[in-house]
């Protein structure tokens, strides 16, 4: 059982790493980016982005049954959903616990190479995270910074009101 758990963590970690290496996003003619699923944070306090655009992860693990993300880079429109986003440890395991709202964050230029060493963050408004760990957002976030379309290294995070990320979009579509 412990070996199976380790294998699961390794596979999940590799998938999460791909999302942050610039290969987790797929651009349609440069106009939109799609991620096929959402996964909870595995490694506590993991940092995505650099400089002033760095986002620190939650101090404990989260799990998700799934979700999806689509970002229209031209129109500044974001659509995301989470399914079954819950704590994966502690006394609140299997529930969202005290987290009642989440927001989506597009992290553009994760390595900061085109932005003076700083990633660029674009946030959605907060939306309700229900008792089953489901959340949905669909709307405009305004004009996206040019670096979001010009740099292939980007990530999409789900963040709690604390500002820490608890889930990430993975798997290009």
**Is it the case that residue 23 has pLDDT exceeding 60?**
no
Nearest Cα to 78, choosing from 121, 18, 24, 129? 121
Mean pLDDT of 117-124: 98
Model confidence at 111, pLDDT cuts 50, 70, 90, reads very high
Give residue 58's pLDDT. Answer: 98
Write the pLDDT tens digit of every residue in 127-168. 999 999 999 999 999 999 999 999 999 999 999 999 999 999
Give residue 171's pLDDT. Answer: 86
Q: Please give the C-alpha separations between residue 157 and each of 6, 16, 51, 116, 120, in angstroms, as whole numbers.
A: 24, 11, 17, 22, 13
**Is it the case that residue 10 has pLDDT exceeding 70?**
no
Of 18-27, 68-77, 99-108, 126-135, the poorest mean pLDDT is in 18-27
Q: Whole-angstrom Cα distance, residue 55 to residue 57?
A: 7
Give residue 114's pLDDT. Answer: 96
Give residue 27's pLDDT. Answer: 46
């Amino acid at each position: 059982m412990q070996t199976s758990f380790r294998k699961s963590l390794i596979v999940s970690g590799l998938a999460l790493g791909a999302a942050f290496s610039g290969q987790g996003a797929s651009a349609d003619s440069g106009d939109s980016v799609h991620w096929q699923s959402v996964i909870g944070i595995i490694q506590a306090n993991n940092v995505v982005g650099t400089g002033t655009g760095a986002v620190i992860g939650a101090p404990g693990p989260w799990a998700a049954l799934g979700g999806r993300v689509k970002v229209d880079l031209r129109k500044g429109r974001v659509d995301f959903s989470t399914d079954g986003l819950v704590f994966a440890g502690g006394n609140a395991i299997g529930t969202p616990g005290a987290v009642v709202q989440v927001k989506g964050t597009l992290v553009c230029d994760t390595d900061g190479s085109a932005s003076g060493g700083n990633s660029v963050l674009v946030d959605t408004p907060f939306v309700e995270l229900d008792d089953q760990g489901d959340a949905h957002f669909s709307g405009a976030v305004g004009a996206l910074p040019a670096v979001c379309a010009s740099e292939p290294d980007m990530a999409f995070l789900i963040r709690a009101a604390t500002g820490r990320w608890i889930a990430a979009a993975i798997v290009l579509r």
